[in-house]
Amino acid sequence: MQKEGDVRIPSGCAISGIFSRSGKKMNGEAIIRSITTMHDRSNGLGGGFAAYGIYPRNKDLYAFHVFYGSARAKEECEKEIMANFDVTVAEKIPTRKMPEITDEPAIWRYFGLPFEKLLKDTQLDEREFVARCVVKINTQIKDAYVFSSGKNMGVFKAVGFPEDVGRYYCLENYEGYCWTAHGRYPTNTPGWWGGAHPFAMLDYSIVHNGEISSYDANRRFIEMFGYKCTLLTDTEVITYIIDYLNRKQGLSLKEVADVIAAPFWNEIDRLPQAEREKLTYLRNVFSSLLITGPFSILLGFSGGMMALNDRLKLRSMVVAEKGDMTYVASEECAIRAIETSPDRTFAPRGGEPVIVTLNKGVDA
């Protein structure tokens, strides 16, 4: 099988997202209907979903979703996981056999927490410890790939059209307050299970439509801080950039957007002094993390969702609101397939983040 970086296949993708600020749980049927509307934006080489709030019985445990290409990989990976985590559940992820999805790897999930002694010995906080373990598995154990590693959330992806992937993973049986979806039409790379979207690190997940021209500059910078871009795809590097800026550097999501989709210098020059100084600082300090080229992304995270276009808005993205619900999609038809009469519909400007979070006091 050809993997990322072996061949170039040009075209586009589709993204969709649903978020309930009240924490109302929805099963996967609505997001599947939404992404199905944009069937022609993908070509069957990748589809996937991220869902938040789906593991309430294990919400305080990290949920690791893992692809295995061989029995040896499973044995090695489980040895690594069991050595670092107090695992309470280890099971196959439920799937249904269907002719549209073929060449399946073994797909398992594990719920657990890092051993306290290891946290003390390494002097790492819990999330950094988990992130390093994920990077180690994905770079050192052949045919094993951890594709989801957050708490009370999960990524489900495969090679296939997204509507088929949703049925394959039985997403009608999961309920979450936030869903994102992706239909893949690979640019630069062939489709394989690990390369499908969403990409995830801890509770951050990214679905992306576009092709960034700054990939090499972004990759070289981010790999100086312990990340390894093993899949050679721009979506992977976007995920790591957001994890680095938000979790490690403590930037707000608005500031993250001001780094990766920074205003042009002539726009910054016209701003009031305080804002001008702040944006100048961000552009100078994180200049290698400016993402150039066309993109629209949906970031899912625990308790929220962010939509963002490139600063020139070279990729379509529409947002709609209805009561406590927020919808985002590449095309308005994907929103109206699940909400026929939104209260408000708009297209965000280039570089303008749309950030929604759970209402205060909501524990979903």
The DSSP bridge partners found for residue 60 are: none
Token duo for residue 25: 């749980």
Q: Are 233 and 157 in contact (CB under 8 A)?
A: no
Token duo for residue 170: 């039985």
What gap in Å lies between CA 100 and CA 102, rounded to an integer?
A: 6
Token duo for residue 157: 């992806």
CA distances from 329 to 18, 35, 202, 285 (A): 9, 8, 24, 32
Token duo for residue 293: 């080229």
The one catalytic residue in 13, 77, 133, 178 is 13
Residue 24: count other Cβ atoms within 10 Å of its Cβ: 15
Name, in order, each residue with C-beta under 8 angstroms of 99's C-beta and a sequence gap of 6 or more.
Answer: none
3-state helix, strand, coil in the chain (%, to 5): 35, 25, 40
What gap in Å lies between CA 84 and CA 92, rounded to an integer?
A: 20
What gap in Å lies between CA 240 and CA 74, rounded to an integer?
A: 25
The answer to whether 13 is a known catalytic residue is yes
Supply the residues annotated as catalytic. Answer: 13
